[in-house]
Amino acid sequence: MPKLQQGQLAPDVTLKTLAGTAVPLSSFWGDGRSALLIFLRHLA
């Protein structure tokens, strides 16, 4: 995937919830809303 440039829109990707349901990220933003993604790593 190519790097995004400043001001460029992020691609719409689909992630799985802990319950296994697929959710497109676009369902979280729009209408003036933003989404912040935080990726946690298993540190044990």
| pLDDT tens-digit series, residues 3-26 | 888 988 778 889 888 899 999 988
Mean pLDDT over 24-44 rounds to: 79
The secondary structure of 5-19 as a DSSP string is PTTPPPPP-EEE-TT
Pairwise CA distance, residues 9 & 21, whole Å? 24
pTM over 0.75: no
* Helix/strand/coil percentages in the chain, nearest 5: 5, 20, 75
Structure tokens at 28: 């979280």
What does the pLDDT read at residue 44? 65
Residues 6+ apart with CB under 8 A from 20: none
What does the pLDDT read at residue 1? 64
